[in-house]
Chain A
Amino acid sequence: MIRRGLCAAALLLLALCLPEEGLAHRVTVFAWPQGTQVLGECAFSRGSPVRQGRILVQDAANGAPVLECRTDDQGRFQFPIPGTPVKAGHGLRITVMAGEGHQDSTELTAEELRGTAVPSLPAADSTHSAPAASPPAAPAQEVPGLTADQVREIVETALDSRLEPLYRRLAANEEAGPSLRDIVGGLGWILGLAGLAAYCRRRK
C-alpha cells in the first residue's frame, strides 16, 4: 500500500515537473490561402499545437523546395504565396516536421492559390490561364473611383474574414482524436481475427 502510494506520488511529481513536449502520435497540418499569404495550423491529435515545428514548402509538381519557416507557439504559421510555382500552374506541398518521427503534409492546388493571389498576378496572366474566372462584366459596371482590381481585392478581404472561422473549424475537426466508432470497430476486428484464427485451427 505504501509502495503504491509512493509510486503514485512519484508519477504525479514527474508529470508536473517535466517540460511540455507534444509527443502524441499523430500530427496534422492544415493550410489555406488568404490574400497574398498562406496561413496554416499544425497540431498533434487532441489539439495540442506544434510549437516551433519546421515547415517545408515545396512545388507540388516537381518537389523543388520553395521556402522554409517555423510555427509559432500556437502552432500557426504563415508565408507569402510564392510567385514562381503559382505562375507555372503548380500547387504547393506543405510539410510539417514536428520532430521525433512526426510528419504530415497537405497540398494547396494552383487554383486555390490563384483565386486569392490577385496582386501577384498581372491581369494579362488571367486571360490565358483562366478566362472563365475573370469577370467579363466588371468593366461595364465599374463604380466611379474604383477599378475592377480594387473591387476584387475588397471582396476577397471581406470573404477571407468571413471564411477564416470556417477554416479554423475545419482545422480543428481534422485534429480531433479518434471517435468511439473507430475504437469499437478496432476491438471488433481484433476479436474477429482471433475467431478466424481459432476456426482455421480447428479445421486442420
Chain B
Amino acid sequence: MHISEGVLSPAILSGGAALAALGVTLGLRRLDYERLMTVAVAAAVFFVGSLVHVPAGVSSVHLILNGLVGVLLGWAAFPAILVALVLQGVLFQYGGITVLGVNTVTMAAPAVLSAWLFRPLLQRPHWRRLGGFCIGACSVAGSALLTALALGMTDEGFLGAAGVLLLAHLPVMAAEGVITALTVGFLARVRPDVLGLDEEERA
C-alpha cells in the first residue's frame, strides 16, 4: 500500500507531510523515554513486516502490521512508522521520499485511532483477543481507505480504488487481526506493562 513517487499531486503531498509532521511531533512529545526500546522494536517489526507476503490467489500482498505498532505505541506510532518508511524507501525502494508524509499518515493514523477505539476491550481478559483482532483488522482497512482517498483526490476514482484495495487486503486484514490478537494475548500475560495495561488496572 506504499504509494509511489510521482502519483499524487503536490497539494496532497504537502497536506500529507503537514499532517505527518503534526503526528510525529505529538508522538515524540508524548513519548515516555523509558519505552524507547519498545518503539525501536515496533519500528523494526513494521520495517520487516512488509517483506512477509500473504498469498492472495496467484499474486501476493504484504503484511503491514500497523495495528500492532499502534496498540504497542499509541501516538508514538507516528515517529516509529516514519522511520521504518524512510528505511523501506531508501533500502527497498518501496514508496518514495516525497510521498513519505502521505504514507506515514495513511499507515499511522488508522492504527492510532483503532488502538484508541478498541482499548477498552483489551482491559477485559475475555475480550482481549477480540480487541486485538479488531485493532489489527481495522488498522489495515483504515489504511486502505485513506490510501484510496489520497489516490481518489488525484486521479483514480475513490470508489474504484477503495474497492480494489479493500478486497485485496482482506487476507491481510484477517492475518493481521490474528497476529495482533495472539501478540496482545501473549503480552498481556507475560509483559502487561508493554501494553500499558498494568498502570490502568492499578489506577
Taking beta carbons and an 8 Å cutoff, which residues of A are in contact with B?
3-4, 7-8, 10-11, 14-16, 18-27, 44-46, 48, 99-105, 177-178, 182-183, 185-187, 189-191, 193-194, 197-198, 201
B13-21, B55-63, B112-120, B192-200: which lies at the interface: B55-63
| Contact yes or no, A7 B178, CB < 8 A | yes
Q: A18-B171, A178-B92, A190-B40 are in contact. Are A8 and B178 (CB under 8 A)?
A: yes
| Contact yes or no, A23 B83, CB < 8 A | no
Whole-angstrom distance from the CB of B102 to the nearest CB of chain A? Answer: 9
In the complex, chain B residues whose CB is within 8 Å of the CB of A45: 92
In B101-160, the 8 Å CB interface with A consists of 129, 133, 147, 150-151, 156
In the complex, chain B residues whose CB is within 8 Å of the CB of A15: 54-57, 171
Whole-angstrom distance from the CB of B174 to the nearest CB of chain A? Answer: 5
How many chain B residues sit at the interface, stated as a range, is 35 or more
| Contact yes or no, B87 A7, CB < 8 A | no
Q: A44-B59, A101-B7 are in contact. Are A18 and B170 (CB under 8 A)?
A: yes
Complex CA–CA separation, A4 to B174 (angstroms): 12
Complex CA–CA separation, A24 to B165 (angstroms): 11
Taking beta carbons and an 8 Å cutoff, which residues of B are in contact with A?
1-8, 33, 36-37, 39-40, 43-44, 47-48, 50-51, 53-62, 83-84, 87-88, 91-95, 129, 133, 147, 150-151, 156, 161, 164-165, 167-171, 174-175, 177-178, 181-182
Whole-angstrom distance from the CB of A134 to the nearest CB of chain B? Answer: 38
| Contact yes or no, A20 B92, CB < 8 A | no
In the complex, chain A residues whose CB is within 8 Å of the CB of B170: 14, 18
20 contacts between A and B (CB under 8 A): A3-B129, A11-B171, A14-B170, A15-B55, A15-B171, A18-B56, A20-B58, A23-B59, A23-B169, A100-B147, A100-B151, A102-B4, A103-B5, A177-B92, A178-B91, A178-B92, A183-B51, A185-B91, A190-B47, A194-B36
Whole-angstrom distance from the CB of A157 to the nearest CB of chain B? Answer: 35
Q: A178-B51, A189-B87 are in contact. Are A23 and B92 (CB under 8 A)?
A: no
In the complex, chain B residues whose CB is within 8 Å of the CB of A104: 4
Complex CA–CA separation, A1 to B53 (angstroms): 25
In the complex, chain A residues whose CB is within 8 Å of the CB of B33: 197-198, 201
| Contact yes or no, B40 A19, CB < 8 A | no
| Contact yes or no, B60 A26, CB < 8 A | no
In the complex, chain A residues whose CB is within 8 Å of the CB of B93: 26
| Contact yes or no, B164 A46, CB < 8 A | no
| Contact yes or no, B36 A48, CB < 8 A | no
